[in-house]
A = this chain, B = another copy of it.
Amino acid sequence: MGASKTENFTAKQNQIAVIAKAMGHPARIAIIDYLLKVDTCICGDIVNEIKLAQPTISQHLKELKNAGIIKGNISGTAICYCIDEKALQTFQKYFNNLETKLEKKKLNCC
């Protein structure tokens, strides 16, 4: 197969999985880290920062954008990318809830 059976899961589960999947590659974590590190929004110096070819970086940026983790503004010939908080906040909400539940049932388990 190769395709996930998304229809078997809740909208929330699919949503969280999409965000997590977008973060599931070290290049994309590196891009997020870099966008957080630099104060100004960044475009193509990501290519200099990360040792991957330009089309590969472009593809990773696209996936982060599709997942709602980053957004981009055209500014001249360059495109200024930056973190889009929405998806990350959705994820954080899920994750904090998860950790709260975990603490409540500590030691109930193997």
Contact = CB atoms under 8 A, between A and B. Distances in A.
B110 A71 contact: yes
A96 B96 CA distance: 10
A11 to B, nearest CB: 10
Copies in the complex: 2
Main secondary structure of the interface of A (DSSP, over half): helix
Contacts of A27: 4-5, 8-9
B101 A36 contact: yes
Contacts of A21: 20-21, 23-25
A7 B75 CA distance: 33
Interface string A66-110: 000001110000001111010011011001101101100100111
A16 interface: yes
B25 A109 contact: no
Interface in A29-58: 29-30, 32-33, 36, 39-41, 50-52
Given A6-B26, A17-B29, A23-B16, A88 B82 contact: no
Contacts of A29: 9, 13, 16-17, 20
